[in-house]
Structure 1
Amino acid sequence: MPSEQEATLQSVWKPELYRMQLEAPTPKSVPCTEFIPDQCETLFEGYEYHGLITHIQAVQLLDTEPEGAYLVRRSSSANGQFYTLSLKFNNKIHHYKLYYENGKGFYVREKRYETVRQLVADGLVTMYLELKVPTLLQRLDTAVNYQESPYMTLNKRKLKILSKHSTKAANKTTITTSPTKRGDGQNNRPPIISVPTPAPTIGGFPYGSGGEITPTEPLALFEKPHAFRVNTFKGLNWCELCGNFLWGFTQQGVKCEDCGFIAHVKCSNSVPADCVPDLKKLRGVFGIDLTNVLASRKATLPFVIVKCVAEIEARGLTCEGIYRLSGFADEIEALKMALDTDGEHADLSESSYSNINVVAGALKLYLRLLPVPLITFSAHPSMIQATRRKQLPDQLNGIRDSLTLLPTAHYHTLQYLLEHLQRVSQHQAINKMSAHNLATVFAPTLIGPPHMAATGDNMAASQYNNGPPDISSDIFLIELLITHCMKIFQ
């Protein structure tokens, strides 16, 4: 008897396309029997290249050959820009422009092949499927119930394991939505996290996920799109969305670089943004995309920031020049390595790092190394425009609307960090770090280097090339965010 796993596999695996591929014609080159002065022996195999012959001559050569027969010729109208592939399929002779790019091989459309034979073999399979099952191919990206897909069926155990740790937070944390109305009438404010009994040392936010996620629900707490890339699969592979075979011999489909989800190119358009990156693929946390880190750890906030903020608020709020003064570079690097290696268990206590500026430096380094700044390139121009309004209420409303352009992970992390910086500024009489001083320190860190900050065009880059950029507008923006964060995020 088949095992439970085998029985499940049989219920989701749809082998019709695989059987159909086995029935497709196989390529058969028609060799040229005459000497051709311009024959490109380094490009073509089996004397399949016939040189400069006419369309009619190609048809005559292929007419008596079996299905899948092909030859390559040069057309007088090509001007050396391409070859012509003549192929017999479905009792008809088809002609295609065949291109060759040095180092990338042959191609007719978007795929690349080392040899013409590989191209023809792959093309015959696709043509055969399009002839025999056109309706099925057209329905691949529409007739799919994601909740009953092979991915959700076969990965229930994986989904349970990944979401198991969140059950402890179920009674403490809830995810609710508090939409903010924009001028266009859309309600798309990211969900607000509310905690009945906030912990003052971390700004009222837990850094675990909220509530258990059942295996039949999208797993990711944050909506993270899959990082699909065209991939060539070896052996039998099938789409994790529709269950159908990935036909062809090369570049049969796409695979998510973060979680490994496999799908047809068309089916990938229907996969929801619920990527759960594999922790094994993430080396540390510094320099890793924020949404990737939080989705893989099922967290609402990055633990690096949470731990650093907690330590700074415990013993650094009254330290003069906090965030402005730098700790020793080698100690900051040591702390970075500890956080990358030990994760949440890294020791940030005074006994390990007596200089609190080392902890502050590690926090700034984490933000500085984010591939996409906390205030993203897409949201930055809109926020700057909001600061140029004349009245303060209009400025705050504009910033609030602009924040909806941030990914959910960036939105909550920014809110958490700004509330912390506001608490730091409340001790400015002792630590000498006003909201303006903090903004001066954090503007390049939160927005990115001035020459990279998005402005909707190349203005920032051109200004940078003409001399030191003016970041006064960025400093003013961060100062507003720190001073009025409670109003902006309320």
Structure 2
Amino acid sequence: MGLPWPFALRRTPAAAQAPGQAGSGCSRALFGQPLAALCGEDNTLPRPIQELLAVLRQRGPTTEGIFRRAAGGTELRQLREALDRGKDIDMGSQPALLLAVILKDFLRSIPTKLLVIDLYEDWMAAMERASKQAKVEELKAVADKLPVANLLLLKRLMALLQHIGHNAATSRMSCSNLAICVGPNLLSPPNEDLLPLQAMLAVTEKVNVLVEFLIENCGDIFGEEVAGLSPPSAEEVPAPMDRRTGAD
């Protein structure tokens, strides 16, 4: 059966000449790679991730249950495999719920996690500071230890999640809800595999509290320029394609 949504490739000369690697901005698999290895020499995020973030910024606030609701297994597998092969996917034609799951999958696949496993204790120590301002200052210091690519994606991700959380009336996803859904993909302790279940549940709760704080206070932590590092506006994203011929 055909896919129930337009799984469209961009029709570009490059796509015709180099199937499988056409213009995706990635010369290797997208998932499971160190983030720095996927970024350009000018520390730009891989184009599929930039475009995915942009579409989610446009549609996430009005998509109920974004980052919480699941996507179809077949569609998820096909899109992930296409991105891993470097196919030049029209992100604007993909459902927002599917892109949210793909983004969580991508974050989960980063080998040392976006927030870096080795910095786990630093993040936790920052959250133990007594006042909000002390937490903010300490979190700034920990964020400065991140690789450049990780910090760039973290800023854009937090700005996106805050944007969705501030539109909870339509997304039905508060900053707390988003942290619960996304947080476990961003950080874990170095000895995660050795922890008993109860200890791992406690770790997950701490990580979720950290991520919620980062979402709610991303402007204070990452600076006012975080708005400029947000995904491109809707006008900069290719319009959704209404190509449903043969897909029904």
Q: Same fold (TM over 0.5)?
A: yes
Q: CA deviation at 1:346?
A: 1.2
Offset, 1:342: 3.5
- Whether the 8 Å CA contact 1:463–1:469 is kept in 2: the answer is no
- Higher RCO (C-alpha 8 Å, min separation 6): 2
**Deviations for 1:237-257, whole angstroms, at most 9, x for unmatched residues?**
xxxxxxxxxxxxxxxxxxxxx
1:469 is matched with which residue?
Answer: 201
Q: Report how far residue 315 of structure 1 moved.
A: 2.6
Q: Which residue of 2 aligns with 1:442?
A: 182
Structure 1 consecutive aligned stretches of length 4 or more whose deviation exceeds 3 Å: 460-463, 465-468
Structure 2 length as normaliser, TM-score? Answer: 0.73
1:290 has 2:27 as partner: no
Q: 1:411 to 1:428 in 2, by over 3 A?
A: same
User: What are the superposed Cα offsets for residues 365-421 of structure 1, whole Å, 9 maximum, x if unpaired?
Assistant: 111111120000122211111111110000111111111221111111111111111
Q: 2:125 aligns with which of 385, 405, 424?
A: 385
Q: How far is the alpha carbon of 1:298 from its aligned partner?
A: 4.7
Amino acid at match of 2:172: K
Whose strand proportion is higher, 1 or 2?
Answer: 1
Residue 92 of structure 2 corresponds to residue 349 of structure 1:
yes
1:37-436 paired onto structure 2 within 5 Å: 283-295=28-40, 298-343=42-87, 345-350=88-93, 353=94, 355-436=95-176
User: Sequence identity, in percent?
Assistant: 28
Q: What are the Cα deviations for residues 127-150 of structure 1, in whole angstroms up to 9, with x where unaligned?
A: xxxxxxxxxxxxxxxxxxxxxxxx
Structure 1 unpaired stretches of 5+: 1-207, 209-278
Q: Which amino acid aligns with 2:137?
A: N
- How many angstroms apart in 2 are the aligned matches of 1:483 and 1:465? 29
TM-score by length of 1: 0.38
5+ residue gaps in structure 2? 1-24, 224-248
How far apart, in 2, do the equivalents of 1:419 and 1:408 lie?
17
- Secondary structure of the 1:398 match is helix
Tell me the SS of whatever aligns to 1:379. Answer: helix
Measured after TM superposition, the shift of residue 307 of structure 1 is 1.3
- How many residue pairs get matched? 198
The CA distance in 2 between the partners of 1:466 and 1:438, in whole Å, is: 22
Is 2:64–2:171's contact at 8 Å kept on the other side of the alignment?
yes
* Counterparts of 2:48 and 2:70, CA distance in 1: 18
In the TM superposition, residue 462 of structure 1 has moved relative to its aligned partner by 4.7
Deviations 1:427-461 (A, max 9, x none): 1111111111100011111114xxxx23xxx5x55
Q: 1:299 to 1:462 in 2, by over 3 A?
A: closer
Larger radius of gyration: 1
Question: Aligned partners of 2:121, 2:109: CA distance in 1, in Å?
Answer: 21
CA RMSD of aligned residues (A): 2.1
Rounded to whole Å, the distance in 2 between the matches of 1:423 and 1:301 is: 20
Give 1:488 shift.
0.3
Counterpart of 1:284, as a letter, is A
Q: Deviations over 1:288-338 (max 9, x none)?
A: 11111114x654223232111111222332111001101112111111122
Using the TM superposition, give the Cα deviation of residue 466 of structure 1 relative to its aligned residue in structure 2, in angstroms: 5.8
8 Å CA contact 1:304–1:363 kept in 2: the answer is: no
How far has the Cα of 1:283 moved from its partner?
Answer: 3.2
